[in-house]
Amino acid sequence: MFYGLLKRGLIGPAVHVVFRPQAEGVEHIPAEGPVLLVANHQSFSDSIFMPLLTPRPVKFLAKAEYFTGGGIKGRLSAGFFRGVGSIPIDRSGARAADAALNTALRLLEEGQIVGLYPEGTRSPDGRLFKGRTGAARIALTAGCPVLPCAIEGTERVQPTGSVLPRVHRVTVTFGPALDFSRYGGELWDAVRGTDAEHTVLRAVTDEIMSTLMRMTGREYVDRYASEVKSEVKSVPRKDRGTERARSRTGDRARSED
Answer yes or no: are the C-beta atoms of 36 and 108 closer than 8 Å: yes
User: Residue 214 and residue 218: Cα distance in Å, rounded?
Assistant: 8
Domain spans, the chain: 2-222, 223-257
The per-residue pLDDT for range 121-180, each reduced to its tens digit, is 899 999 999 999 999 999 999 999 999 999 999 999 988 777 778 899 999 999 999 999
pLDDT (0 to 100) of residue 237: 58
pLDDT (0 to 100) of residue 162: 75
Answer yes or no: are the C-beta atoms of 122 and 10 closer than 8 Å: no
What average pLDDT does the segment 201-217 reach?
Answer: 98
User: Residue 65 and residue 244: Cα distance in Å, rounded?
Assistant: 23
CATH class of the domain defined by 2-222: alpha beta
57 Cβ contact list (under 8 Å, min separation 6): 3, 51, 85, 112, 113
Pairing of strands 220-221, 171-174: unpaired
pTM: 0.82
